Amino acid sequence: MSWRLRIRHTTGYAYDTPVLASFNEARLTPVTDVDQLTLEAQVVTSPEAEQQRYWDYWGTQVTAFDVHRPHSRLVVTATSVVDTADARPAPVVSGWDAVRSPEVRDRFVEMLTPTERTRPDEEMVVLARKAVEGLDPHDAAMAVMALAHERVAYRPGSTGVATSAQEAWSQGSGVCQDIAHVTVALLRAVGLPASYVSGYLHPRREAAIGQTVTGESHAWVEVWLGGWWAYDPTNTVPAGERHVVVGRGRDYADVPPLKGLFSGGGGHRLDVTVEVTRLQ
Amino acid sequence: MADLFEGYPVGVAWDEVLDADGRPREHSAPLVDALRELSPEDLDVRAAALASAFRDQGITFSLSGEERPFPLDVVPRVVDADEWDLVERGVSQRVRALEAFLADMAGEQAVLGDRVVPRRVVVSSSAHAPAAHGIVPPNGVRVHVSGIDLIRDEQGRFCVLEDNLRTPSGVSYVIENRRAMTRVFPELLATHRVRPVADYPAMLLAALRAAAPEGVLDPTVVVLTPGVFNSAYFEHSLLARLMGVELVEGRDLVCRDGEVWMRTTGGEQRVDVVYRRIDDDFLDPLHFRPDSLVGCPGLLNAARGGRVTLANAVGNGVADDKLVYTYVPELVRYYLGEEPLLPNVDTYRCEDPDQLPEVLDRLDQLVLKPVDGSGGKGLVIGPQASDEELATLRAQLEADPRGWIAQRVIQLSTSPTKTPDGIAPRHVDLRPFAVNDGDRVWVLPGGLTRVALPEGSLVVNSSQGGGSKDTWVLARDEVVAEGETTHDDLLPAAPEGRLLDMGNAVLADQQQQQQQGRVTC
């Protein structure tokens, strides 16, 4: 059964002294593809700014804007209404040849190559390879996801925006961004193409229609098993009707919800809220 | 009178002037005759005059942070009209193929689908710039300016050594070398019908104007430099002056609502075309290095919106990556349906598991080059390397085979060069410069001849102790010799109006962590 969700994602920056100019890119608009239909989407900024929209290399819709008058506060509000679909069954893959052929390796080379944030250390590689010994690709993917979930405990505030997979692994904790990075690193280490997915999660399995709840900016992974398959290693469930995809990339750096530069301003404080309402 | 060529040795390398029997090649006979008229003392005087001309103008290069004069050899290199014809057609062909490759990579990527080039080769290039994806250059040109490095092998064949499609430098030396030679050696020039090089700034300006966003009738062009500490600053300022356009730094520009403006004492002025001499990584801190202070935030999105043209385009480096270089002859066939006029130097792809073992076996016989090095940086000449250097190299290769290519040691052609012991052969290469205005690829008749000054040295880069020679491309007999024109006749004077110094804005990163620790997940 599919769900219809409304998302309201508000990001506020408060600056110690007024900012004179800022340049920003928001990746906050959910994708439309076979499993998801974005019915409405808009990004509103305060102060108001002219917006430029484009689709980036990874297929994510970007809203770029810059502000050129002094401001002490910048608020970006993204709202969208999205139809999501049930989790897909994992693709049936015949064997390792199908996912490790030279053609597959070349086609998905970017999703097989470690990035700065997803480079595994030796222990990660050794344990991942050991975990998948004798398994077919699907079971191997499940084993690796379980390993990531087991080794990196979900602990809010234990990591920061720039934390790498190695750091989260060695400290044994992180948030979903870190768990997704670790999972992606381990999947790639065993030769499975994997991408990082940025989006939202409705926190309740049995969500009441019409009730607005506090949701999450969330991250999970997709793995290539002869077809892309989305799985949420933080919650150990396949991504389904509660998950809203905004973008896919090699790691967080390809799909940051908001990134920007500002001049002046000194320090700043960040305040983020995500509200999710199941509409049907 | 002593013959300056007496005792001039003929070696394995092809000599540009004398043939294997020590006789002047046909096109170089007038040069040899003229030089034979000179006494060594006279040559010394001319050489000293050239050196002081350069020093007085501040034409230097920086070597490890220290400014040094870039020595101009007193003996020019003469290129025959027929040979130049091949160079011109070959360089133009190559640039057209590389333009087609870049356009394809930005679009449907047919070259990957057709398996001419593996996808991994392109996306693993350090110059691969996903951030520039989707920028469509107004007149289709991405390689407005290129420098294609050529060498001549032992048989006298011109081969391509590397392509430079990002921000190739050196054309200022071509212009200044000619100016100095005209002053110091007027009678030698008079004995040859040499094609002029002073058209370059006008051709460049025309190409930049032709690249302006659609609908802009009288585009404003600027030259964007990283600043006075850049080793090519002299060139940036020279080109801006000769084109009659403003030389700006990142802090002189501001992007607002998708447009680019230049701060001047007369107020802000719209900018339509930026001839940028800043590397991709430093160009726009919003998309590349956020700590860059020499760039300007917003430039990339302004170009994406079609409101400004960046020349050269961002991301060109994937096409001049030295591993991609090994595929260029195939690219010429694939895109143009032509045979390459200028061959590549035979090259091993260390990334290829079938080729790596042979390279490792023969490290002491090959030249190893980092794929993204320029200016001869990181290059190792096997036969001249110590055992220790070879061991280090082996470890580097095994750790990062994608990072290296290998070539056989080619004895670059030699050209008579003034040395403390008289005229002697020294190895040279040639960097012709090409300008693409969208209608045709024009190759400057001349180019930069670099010369390795130490005896036997094969490394010609200015950063490695090289000098240069004025390169004389001879006009065809049937063509009425073109007069030497000076750029002063061709171009308007630089506009008045100083740039306002706004100081470096402090740019700070703002981004948010995915799911900054909240309720459930």
Using CA of residue A258, residue A261, residue A264, residue A268, what is the dihedral sign? positive
**Quick one: A166 and A250 in the same domain?**
yes
Residue B65 burial (CB count, 10 A): 7
Report the CATH number at residue A23: 2.60.40.2250
B364: CATH:
3.30.1490.270
B383 and B418 housed in the same domain: no
Same domain, B434 and B307: yes
| R_g over Cα of chain B | 24
CA–centroid distance for A266 within its chain: 29
Q: Do residues B158 and B241 share a domain? A: yes
A270 interfacial to chain B (CB closer than 8 Å): yes
Q: What is the pLDDT of residue B292?
A: 83
- Is position B89 within any domain? yes
Judge if A118 and A66 occupy the same domain.
Answer: no
Counted domains in chain A: 2
Interface of B with A in 274-333 (CB under 8 A): 285-286, 290, 297-298, 301, 304-305
CA distance A21 to B298: 11
Q: Do B124 and B248 belong together in one domain?
A: yes
- Assess whether B292 and B364 both reside in one domain: no
Asked if the structure places residue B150 within a domain, the reply is yes
Model pLDDT for residues B131-173, shown as the tens digit of each residue: 999 999 999 999 999 999 999 999 999 999 999 999 999 999 9
Residues of B in contact with A50 (CB under 8 A): 257-258
B520 lies in a domain? no
Residues B382 and B439 in one domain: no
Residue A91 falls within a domain, yes or no?
no
Q: Can you give the residue range of the structural domain that contains A194?
A: 96-254
Assigned domain for A15 exists: yes
- A61 and A137 in a common domain: no
d(CA B172, CA B177): 8
Same domain, B417 and B391: no
Q: Splitting chain B (521 residues) into consecutive groups of 10 residues, what average pLDDT does each group show?
A: 75 91 91 89 90 74 59 94 97 98 95 95 92 95 97 95 93 94 91 94 98 96 94 93 97 94 94 97 92 91 97 96 96 98 96 93 93 76 91 93 92 92 92 97 96 83 77 80 43 40 47 47 44
Is A65 in contact with A51 (CB distance < 8 Å)? yes
Strands (E), B87-171: 145-152, 158-164
> Considering CB atoms only, which of B133, B505, B517 is closest to A157?
B517
A141-176 core/surface letters (b: 16 or more CB in 10 A; e: else) = bbbbbebbbebbebeeebbebebbbbbbbeeebbbb
Which token pair is B520?
A: 């459930």
CB pair distance less than 8 Å for B511 and A161 = yes
Restricting to A residues 87-146, those with a Cβ less than 8 Å away from any Cβ of B are: 105-107, 109-110, 113
Residue B434 C-alpha, separation from nearest chain A C-alpha, in angstroms: 30
Compare all CA atoms of chain A with the CA of B119 and give the residue at the minimum distance.
A106
Per-residue model confidence (pLDDT) at position B7: 83
Of B394, B409, B424, the domain-final residue: B409
Q: What DSSP designation does B158 have?
A: E
Contact B301 A52 (CB under 8 A): yes
Q: Is residue A111 located within the same domain as residue A226?
A: yes
Q: Are A114 and A137 members of one domain?
A: yes
Long-range contacts from B110-116, C-beta under 8 angstroms, 24+ separation: B111/B331, B111/B334, B111/B335, B114/B334, B116/B327, B116/B330, B116/B331, B116/B334
Mark whether B401 and B458 lie in a shared domain.
Answer: no
Q: Which of residues 205-264 of B touch A (CB under 8 A)?
A: 254-258
- Residue B502 inside a domain? The answer is no
The share of chain A scoring above pLDDT 90, in percent, equals: 90
With respect to residue B515, please indicate whether it lies within any of the assigned structural domains.
no
Looking at residue B290, what is its pLDDT?
86
Structural domain count, chain B: 2
> Quick check: is B292 in a domain?
yes
Interface contact flag, B124 A113, Cβ < 8 Å: yes
Regarding whether A264 and A218 lie in a shared domain, the answer is no
Give yes or no: residues A189 and A267 share one domain: no
Complex ipTM, two decimals? 0.93
Q: Tell me: do A173 and A67 sit in the same domain.
A: no
pLDDT mean over A191-217: 94
Mutation test of the interface with chain B: which of A52, A206, A236, choosing the one with the most B Cβ atoms within 10 A? A52
Report whether B462 contacts B468 (CB < 8 A).
Answer: yes
A223 and A101 in a common domain: yes
- Domain of residue A130, CATH code: 3.10.620.30
Do A165 and A119 meet the contact criterion of CB atoms below 8 Å apart? Answer: yes
Q: Cβ contacts (< 8 Å) between B258 and chain A: which residues?
A: 50, 52
- Say whether pLDDT at A195 is over 80: yes
Q: What is the predicted pLDDT for the residue at B485?
A: 43
- Where is the domain boundary, B378, B409, B440? B409
Q: Which of B258, B510, B519 sits opposite A214 (nearest CB)?
A: B519
d(CA A41, CA A38): 7
Provide the pLDDT for residue B463: 59
Mean pLDDT, to the nearest integer, of A21-50? Answer: 96
For residues A53 and B251, give the distance between their C-alpha atoms in angstroms, rounded to a whole number.
Answer: 26
Cβ distance of B517 and A156 shorter than 8 Å: yes
Nearest chain B residue (CA) to A258 = B511
Cβ contact, residue pair B510, A177, below 8 Å: no
Distance from CA of A184 to the nearest CA of B (A): 15
Closest chain A residue to B258, measured at CA: A52
| CB < 8 Å to A231, chain B | none
Closest CB to A234 among B119, B258, B521? B521
Position B462 scores a pLDDT of 58
Question: Is A262 at the interface with chain B, CB within 8 A?
Answer: yes
Cα separation of B471 and B187, whole Å? 16
Where does residue B21 rank: exposed (0-12), middle (13-18), buried (19+ CB within 10 A)? exposed
**Structural domain of residue B299, as residue ranges?**
26-345+410-482
* Residue B287, token pair as written in the block: 């998309």
The alpha carbon of B38 is separated from its chain's Cα centroid by a whole number of angstroms, namely 34
B297 in the same domain as B384: no
B511 domain residue, yes or no: no
Q: Clarify whether residues B303 and B244 are in a common domain.
A: yes
Quick one: A109 and A203 in the same domain? yes
- Residue B464: the pLDDT is 63
Query: Do residue B204 and residue B261 come from a single domain?
Result: yes
The 8-class DSSP code of residue B312 comes to: S
Q: Do A110 and B256 touch (CB under 8 A)?
A: no
* A90 within domain boundaries: no
d(CA A161, CA B290) in angstroms, rounded, equals 15
Q: What is the pLDDT of residues A91-148, one digit of tens each?
A: 988 889 888 899 999 999 999 999 999 999 999 999 999 999 999 999 999 999 999 9
In this complex, do A177 and B515 lie within 8 Å of one another by their Cβ atoms?
yes
What does the pLDDT look like over B175-228, one tens digit per residue? 999 999 999 999 889 889 999 999 999 999 999 999 999 999 999 999 999 999
Question: Chain A partners of B124 at a C-beta cutoff of 8 Å?
Answer: 109, 113
> Is residue A181 domain-shared with residue A223, that is, in the same domain?
yes
Do A230 and A100 fall within a single domain? yes
Tell whether A224 is covered by a domain: yes
- Domain final residue pick, B358, B379, B409: B409
Same domain, B388 and B449: no
In terms of CA atoms, which chain B residue is nearest residue A163? B513
Mean pLDDT along residues A60-88: 96
- B155 found inside a domain: yes
